[in-house]
């Protein structure tokens, strides 16, 4: 019997209770408000400022939004809306502007009628930006007068002052993220451009401009303006993929005060692309609007199939995956009080939205099929084809998996680690037997496993599962990971929580790395989404001067080092891991205290899918176009 020990001397009283004031909770626990203090959280600051401008546009008061990336990691967001109110707030002695900027849950979207539809209904958006900025300046133009006020870490550092006159109303927010909060304060041009393009499609008739003015001589800009709304966005998402039917479906209607807008079209691809928005906020985890759309789509197609004899009496209904295969769809809802799950607004929770989307899509999609019998036939035949192929593939996969993977032992080429705890174990997937030999000698056997691969693995983008499992190298990798594949995939059986691709720093190494990334993206995507996949960064150069030596990982680092060294010195360019002895490989690439690992992430699933299709698919033309358009940006080209 275990005796419970109760501590009697622990002091715990009223003095131990902390009450955080103002924006202190945001600085204390930023992840609760912006999701993380990494790249996603950093860019979330921009989205919070942008949401306010979009809300002005949705309300009909703004038609121009401008986002500028400035030197010293600053961002400026400007709109020509009404401008934040600057009059005194309820005898507080402070302006409404200062209240909005420095108080959680303060804003015009919480109870007033200033906004019928808005994304930032939590009332914490711009105040969170203020709390997490080293410096923030707001400029407001109202009724011909310009006002400004400055803040730092959530507190006003100047009073509200007049700064002359202006010709139109609007708000400008310029902020610099606080390096005490964020691990990296470098904004990504590509992430911001993608997000703004998305918002421009969702806000037709509004001009959105983005400028990069961070480096003199390297300035760039984009202007987005679309009249077609989400119909145009569906066409953009489809890209060069062939479509099954020429006329896309589009519907816009309102139910119970909820505006619903849906566009979709089927393509010849098998991938499913669904993007959902609530008050223009992208909800990557879906929610009630996506649930309503999916259930209604399945029901309408099955009802139409029964009614028009596409399905016989003894045939079972089409499943959700079959009716969605090859579909590109955008679902956008606008409502008075959206309930997001979490401050980062990744999922919509309003139950009423599901019913509204179901009712509107039921009505309009059924009408679309009835009025367009030829389109309906093409869509139904595609769904039936997908259903039969999926059933056949499931049976074939079961047979193939039974043949290739059941009862298999760990591959002989795997040098396993002694630890049996996945959370502390890692596996290096190494190119070539030579590098594999060095890695086996270099590793820490307690927690590092080595799996050498011979040559370039099969391009899985061009192959089906039976052929994939005939590849000895891929089969060895599947068994070593322990998760199985396809229908048998089980993340809980993963044997290593760090899977590290380690290839040579040359063209062949880059090709092998790309082939492995294609395999992981197509067949082990949960490993990427869970943050288990990494790419090792071996050094590019070894610099020697006398008895001293330095390992350099990129060209800029080498340039900086050589400026500090006086000649003579020797430089060795590493092209293969086999050029390093085990001690060097451990010191530069495998030692957890010194190594550089890059975690593989998916920022945009649709874009990632498009890139893999273009670069690794059967069509040659998209690869040619990609090479021609990106040739001038190539670095470290081996000749």
User: Reduced to 3 states, what is the DSSP secondary structure of residue 340?
Assistant: strand
431 in catalytic set: yes
Question: Could you tell me the two tokens for 169?
Answer: 């109303």
**In this structure, how many other beta carbons lie within 10 angstroms of the beta carbon of residue 424?**
13
CB atoms near residue 15 (< 10 Å): 7
367 is known as an active-site residue: no
Q: Which of 253, 508, 529, 587 is catalytic?
A: 508
Residue tagged active-site, from 48, 431, 473, 613:
431
Would you say 483 and 532 are in contact if contact means Cβ atoms under 8 Å apart?
no
If you compute the radius of gyration of the chain from its CA atoms, what whole number of angstroms results? 28
- The torsion of the CA quartet 608, 610, 614, 616, rounded to 10 degrees, works out to 50
For residue 487, the 8-state DSSP code is: G
CB neighbours of 413 closer than 8 A, spacing ≥ 6?
Answer: 436, 451, 452, 476
Per the DSSP assignment, residues forming a β-bridge with 330 are 263, 275
Output phi, psi for 222, to 5 deg: -135, 145
Q: Which of 290, 80, 282 is nearest to 196 (CA)?
A: 282
Query: In 10 A of CB 108, how many CB atoms?
Result: 20
Half-sphere exposure of 17 (CA within 13 A, CB side): 3
- Give the tokens for residue 449: 């496993």
Structure tokens belonging to residue 589? 């690439």
3-state SS assignment for residue 273 = strand
Clarify whether 557 is annotated catalytic: no
Give strand ranges (E) for 213-299: 220-224, 249-255, 258-266, 273-278, 281-282
Asked if 276 and 290 touch (Cβ cutoff 8 Å), the reply is yes
What DSSP assignment string belongs to 363-411? HHHHHHHHH-HHHHHHHHHHHHHHHHHHHHHHHHHHHHHHHHTTTPPPP
Per the residue annotation, which of 504, 579, 609, 613 is the catalytic one?
Answer: 504
- Of 271, 339, 470, 506, which is the active-site residue? 506
Largest CA distance in the chain: 85
Distance of CA 581 to the CA centre of its chain: 38
Per the annotation, the verdict on 508 as an active-site residue is: yes
Q: Which residues are known catalytic residues?
A: 431, 504, 506, 508
């Amino acid at each position: 019997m275990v005796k419970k020990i109760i501590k009697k001397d622990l002091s715990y009283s009223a003095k131990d209770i902390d009450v955080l004031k103002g924006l202190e909770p945001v600085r204390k626990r930023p992840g609760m408000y912006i999701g993380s203090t990494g790249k996603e959280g950093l860019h979330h600051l921009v989205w919070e400022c942008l949401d306010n401008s979009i809300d002005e546009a949705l309300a009909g008061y703004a038609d121009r939004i401008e986002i500028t990336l400035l030197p010293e990691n600053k961002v400026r967001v400007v709109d020509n809306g009404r401008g934040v109110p600057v009059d005194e707030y309820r005898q507080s002695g402070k302006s409404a502007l200062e209240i909005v900027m420095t108080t959680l849950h303060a804003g015009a979207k919480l109870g007033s009628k200033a906004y019928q539809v808005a994304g930032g209904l939590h009332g914490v958006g711009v105040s969170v930006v203020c709390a997490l900025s080293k410096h923030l300046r707001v400029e407001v133009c109202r009724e011909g007068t310009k006002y400004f006020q400055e803040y730092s870490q959530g507190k006003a550092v100047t009073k509200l002052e007049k700064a002359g006159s202006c010709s139109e109303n609007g708000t400008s927010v310029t902020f610099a993220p606080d390096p005490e909060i964020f691990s990296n304060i470098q904004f990504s041009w590509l992430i911001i451009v993608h997000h703004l393009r998305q918002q421009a499609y969702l806000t037709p008739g509004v001009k959105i401009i983005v400028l990069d003015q961070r480096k003199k001589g390297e300035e760039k800009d984009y202007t987005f303006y679309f009249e077609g709304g989400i119909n145009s966005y569906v066409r953009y998402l489809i890209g060069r993929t062939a479509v099954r039917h020429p006329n896309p479906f589009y519907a816009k209607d309102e139910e119970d005060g909820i505006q619903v807008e849906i566009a979709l079209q089927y393509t010849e691809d098998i991938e499913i692309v669904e993007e959902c928005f609530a008050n223009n906020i992208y909800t990557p985890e879906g929610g009630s609007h996506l649930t309503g759309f999916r259930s209604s789509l399945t029901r309408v197609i099955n009802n139409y199939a029964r009614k028009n004899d596409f399905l016989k009496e003894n045939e079972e209904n089409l499943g959700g995956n079959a009716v969605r295969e090859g579909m590109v769809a955008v679902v956008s809802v606008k409502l008075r009080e959206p309930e997001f799950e979490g401050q980062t607004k990744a999922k919509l929770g309003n139950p009423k939205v599901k019913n509204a989307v179901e009712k509107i899509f039921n009505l309009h999609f059924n009408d679309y099929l009835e009025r367009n019998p030829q389109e309906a036939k093409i869509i139904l035949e595609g769904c039936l084809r997908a259903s039969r192929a999926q059933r056949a593939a499931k049976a074939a996969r079961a047979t193939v998996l039974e043949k290739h993977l059941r009862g298999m032992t760990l591959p002989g080429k795997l040098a396993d680690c002694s630890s049996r705890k996945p959370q502390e174990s890692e596996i290096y997937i190494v190119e070539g037997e030579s590098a594999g030999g060095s890695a086996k000698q270099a590793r820490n056997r307690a927690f590092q496993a080595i799996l050498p691969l011979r040559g370039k693995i099969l391009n899985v983008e061009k192959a089906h599962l039976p052929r994939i499992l005939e590849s000895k190298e891929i089969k060895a990798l599947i068994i070593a990971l322990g998760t199985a594949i396809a229908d048998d995939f089980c993340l809980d059986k993963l044997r290593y929580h760090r899977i590290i691709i380690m290839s040579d720093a040359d063209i062949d190494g880059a090709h092998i790395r790309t082939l492995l990334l294609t395999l992981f993206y197509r067949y082990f995507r949960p490993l990427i989404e869970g943050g288990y996949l990494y790419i090792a960064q071996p050094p590019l150069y070894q610099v020697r001067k006398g008895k001293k030596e330095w390992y350099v990982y990129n060209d800029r680092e080498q340039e900086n080092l050589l400026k500090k060294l006086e000649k003579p010195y020797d430089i060795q360019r590493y092209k293969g891991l086999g050029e390093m002895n085990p001690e060097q490989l451990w010191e530069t690439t495998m030692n957890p205290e010194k190594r550089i690992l890059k975690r593989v992430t998916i920022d945009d699933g649709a874009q990632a899918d498009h890139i893999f299709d273009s670069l690794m698919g059967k069509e040659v033309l998209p690869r040619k176009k990609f090479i021609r358009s990106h040739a001038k940006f190539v670095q470290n080209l081996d000749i």
